[in-house]
Amino acid sequence: MSPESRVVGKRLTGREFLPRVRGSALYAADMVREGLLHAAVVRSPIPHGEILAIDDSAARAVPGVRAVFTAKDVPGTNRYGLIKKDQHLFSDGRVRFVGDAMAMVVAESAEAAEEGRRAVRVDYRALPAVFDPDEALRPDAPQVHEGGNVACVSRIERGDAQAALRRADVVVENTYSTSMIEHAFLEPHAALGEIDEEGRVAVHVGTQDAHANLRDVAALLGLPEERCRIVQAATGGAFGGKIDLTAHGFVALAAHRLRRPVKLVMSREEVFLASNKRHPMRIHAKTGATRDGKLAAVWFEAVADAGAYTSATPGVTSRCAIHAAGPYEIENVHVAVTGVYTNHPICGAMRGFGVGQATVVHESQMDLLARELGMDPIELRLRNALRRGSTTGTGQVLGGSVAIGETLRQIRKVRERRIQEGPPASPREGPGAEGAGGRGPARRTLYGMGVASMWHGVGVTGLPNPSSARLEVDEAGELTLFTGAADMGQGATTVLGQVAAEEMGLPFEAVRVVQGDTGRTPEAGISAATRQTFMSGNAIRLAAEAIKRELVPALADVLEARAEDIRVEDGFVAVRGTRGRGLPFAEAARRAVVARGGVGFRGEATFEPETTPLDPQTGRGKPYMTYSFGSQLVEVAVDADTGEVKVLRVAAAHEVGRAINPLLIEGQLNGGVAMGMGYGLLERFDPYKTRNFQDYHLPRTTDAPEVECLLVEEPDPFGPFGAKGVGEPPLHPTAPAILNAIHDATGIRIRSLPVRREEILKALRASGGAEAGRRQQR
């Protein structure tokens, strides 16, 4: 209705944030019901074995215990899974990792449930286990699943990479490894199941996709979907960790069987033990170029530890493969990424979905190539950067906005400014400083800058991933957006509300948003894959068009005007060509509803991005409708005595199409940089050793660098108001830019994440770099 943006582009803070800050947001763990029962899950203490018997008699004798459930009590199909249904709510007689669920105790109190859980006796026959994916690929390796340990292989073939590498003037070849990572969301998994007022089995849970969860829960219970309901509770972070079923199936089964509300709250230790992780990968890469810096070929082969079950592994390997060559024009590409089952915890969806691992490699390779060629690393990237109309490794011709070049030019400006200013004073060297690691002065500090770029396809890879949205005007004349899009704290509620308000010509505050309830909202697909702003934003625009087709003529009738003369701006319905003739939207809409007998207005629409599946042998296809791009400049100080790497400043330039809400994008950029710092410098999940945050080290606020956020706006022709997603992208460049900055500072190339200080110290000692305090020429 309005040609100008009045809500889109504003730095708004939506209603969903204050309750979180004030502590009034209702998480599943906080929910109470009359007659509430509590559940505790019995999990496997061994990584691989056959269950011979489960004796629950002692558990049933514990005062307060009401029931013990095992696989035989699952009324439907005891199988679920994000892509392949190979996980079991309760083990089918075989356990495949420490943490595999075997039984559940339900009791009147959490304490009784816990005591019952400890009382369940399980007899096992231990089976040989395999923990290394390379070992798992050997013919004589223990078989985690029938049919072999290869979960999937994702391939990209374009041109002839081997031949091009032979012809290339310069080739860099390296092997990299990345670590297993914990999501580390603030809210541990929790769910409450109950029978709702309509007799449905309802589950309140922190989730990223209520509708997908509904299908799995209904199948477990053997019920039609309409007899089940998933309601998204306030969700305290997710990062991909709340896509699969977590606590949902357990409480749904118990509520269904006992007809009483049941709650399951996992401890942090249980989450660490049983929840999905990020895939660790070992990657061998070769990158070739001509003497003038034109990329000739990329050869990339990776093995990913999938853990015990499939979960999102095929999605991770395919996304990793597609992005393996980086945001560059390359004629010859060979990529193979193999997901391998082991007896480790399940590796599944996590922010980045395999792109982070690929970015570490292609951006390290680009820096090494620049050194070999004697070129500026930014110039090398610019020379090869994708443009609109470029063809990717999958053969896709890019039709969306492609501003990787502009992000590089932006950080080049920052770099020039930084060089002129000189390195910042290390926080430890300033007044009041306190020492090594933050406490005591440091002197032998080596300073370096590093650059890295990224690209990230928006949406689910090569699969249908529609989003639907519905707008309704009720009898009070108020507008409500119904969307299945989950908000885990990232601000989807605000952004989608802004899109709806803009489309309808209303102030942001006038739009009510109902979301994440399969009983009330249409399916929007997963809140992951950097997709909701793009997919649901488009769906809302289409829904707005749909509702306006009925609403605008009705408003015209109320105002006794022609439909084509109706304008809605800032919540006021005006008649074009008249002075002051009009009504507030709510009043006009209310009268319009009354005029049609109290029947409200409703518009619902679905947006389906144009994608095609990838050919399994060549990877050819159109996996995403559009991509997001970005580049980061990282400055580090390396303490030559202790090996500590301090990230001083980060300039993060990201192409967002159009910034619907710059404030929330800056939040994503700051969060992504912090997560990338953890990936690069601190975080490593050692299966069966890392138990909680005492062992798992995250960046703290005191580690956080100054982040300069540079939003590059080049409207995408397919995005709502030109917008595209930014949820995952800012994570990707940080870790490789840190590696490149360390190399700049010390001359040491780290190829294994997270950075180990011993590696820096040994190399510095060997090179005498600690004494020299060298600084690379740029």
Partner 1 sequence: MTAAPQYLEPASLREALDLLAEGGTAVLGGGTQLVPALRDGGPGTGGRPRRLLDPRRIAELSGIRQDKDRLSIGALTRLSDLASSPQAAARAPLLSRAAGITSVPQMRNRGTLGGKLFNPGRFAEIAASLLVLGGEVRLLRAGGERRVGLAEFLCRPGGPRVSEDELLVSVDVNAARPLRASLQVIEPLRWRSPYHLALALARPAPREVHFALAGSAGVFGRFERTLGDGGDDGATGESRAAAAASRDFRARHPEARDTYTDLILEGLVRRGIEDALQERGET
Tell me: does residue 440 bind partner 1 (CB under 8 A): yes
Return the residues of window 442-471 that contact partner 1 according to CB under 8 A: 442-444
Stretch that binds partner 1, among 4-12, 86-94, 110-118, 732-740 (CB under 8 A): 110-118
Nearer to partner 1, 393 or 705 (CB): 705
Shortest distance, position 671 Cβ to partner 1, whole Å: 21
Interface pick for partner 1 out of 123, 416, 509, 695 (rule CB under 8 A): 695
Please tell me what DSSP assigns to residue 613.
P
Tell me: does residue 441 bind partner 1 (CB under 8 A): yes
Q: Is 352 exposed, middle or buried (CB count within 10 Å of its CB: 0-12, 13-18, 19+)?
A: buried
Return the residues of window 716-735 that contact partner 1 according to CB under 8 A: none
Interface pick for partner 1 out of 435, 464, 577, 616 (rule CB under 8 A): 435
Tell me: does residue 60 bind partner 1 (CB under 8 A): no
Nearer to partner 1, 37 or 640 (CB): 640
Tell me: does residue 215 bind partner 1 (CB under 8 A): no
Shortest distance, position 761 Cβ to partner 1, whole Å: 4
Residues whose CB is less than 8 angstroms from the CB of residue 135 and which lie 6 or more positions away in sequence, other chains included = 141
Tell me: does residue 757 bind partner 1 (CB under 8 A): yes
Per the structure block, which two tokens stand in for 681?
Answer: 């410098």
Name the strands in the sheet holding 121-126, side by side, starting at the edge strand that comes first in the sequence.
94-95, 49-55, 121-126
Q: Judged by CB under 8 A, how many residues of this single chain contact partner 1?
A: 29
Tell me: does residue 686 bind partner 1 (CB under 8 A): no
Shortest distance, position 236 Cβ to partner 1, whole Å: 21
Strand stretches in 378-477, DSSP E: 435-436, 439-440, 445-457, 467-473
Helix (H/G/I), strand (E/B), else coil: 316: helix
Q: Is 256 exposed, middle or buried (CB count within 10 Å of its CB: 0-12, 13-18, 19+)?
A: buried
Nearer to partner 1, 10 or 268 (CB): 268
Shortest distance, position 451 Cβ to partner 1, whole Å: 27
Interface pick for partner 1 out of 186, 419, 436, 594 (rule CB under 8 A): 436
For the chain, the 3-state helix, strand and coil shares in percent, each to the nearest 5, are: 30, 25, 45
Q: What are phi and psi of 578, to 5 degrees?
A: -115, 155
How far does Cα 705 stand from its chain's mean position? Answer: 22
Shortest distance, position 754 Cβ to partner 1, whole Å: 11
Return the residues of window 736-755 that contact partner 1 according to CB under 8 A: none
353-391: b (≥16 Cβ within 10 Å) or e: bbbbbbbbbbbbbbbbbbbebebbbbebbbbbbbeeebe
Shortest distance, position 535 Cβ to partner 1, whole Å: 40
Nearer to partner 1, 113 or 346 (CB): 113
Give dist(CA 399, CA 396) in Å, integer. 9
Shortest distance, position 230 Cβ to partner 1, whole Å: 32
Tell me: does residue 640 bind partner 1 (CB under 8 A): yes
Tell me: does residue 430 bind partner 1 (CB under 8 A): no
Choose among 314, 403, 386: nearest CA to 354: 314
Helix (H/G/I), strand (E/B), else coil: 397: strand
Stretch that binds partner 1, among 107-115, 190-198, 292-300, 354-362 (CB under 8 A): 107-115
Please answer whether residues 348 and 277 qualify as being in contact, where contact means their C-beta atoms are separated by less than 8 angstroms.
yes
Tell me: does residue 776 bind partner 1 (CB under 8 A): no
Interface pick for partner 1 out of 16, 115, 301, 666 (rule CB under 8 A): 115
250 membership: H or E segment, kind and range? helix 248-258
Please answer whether residues 361 and 300 qualify as being in contact, where contact means their C-beta atoms are separated by less than 8 angstroms.
yes
Interface pick for partner 1 out of 21, 292, 579, 694 (rule CB under 8 A): 694
Tell me: does residue 644 bind partner 1 (CB under 8 A): yes
Residues whose CB is less than 8 angstroms from the CB of residue 419 and which lie 6 or more positions away in sequence, other chains included = 778
Tell me: does residue 173 bind partner 1 (CB under 8 A): no
> 201 forms bridges with which residues in the sheet?
195, 228
Site string for partner 1, 382-421 (x = CB under 8 A): ----------------------------------------
Q: Would you list the DSSP string of 73-127?
A: G-SS-S-B-SSS--B-SS-SSEE-STT-EEEEEEESSHHHHHHHHHH-EEEEEE-
Residues that bind partner 1 (CB under 8 A): 111-112, 115, 434-444, 640-644, 694-695, 697, 700, 757-758, 761-762, 765, 770
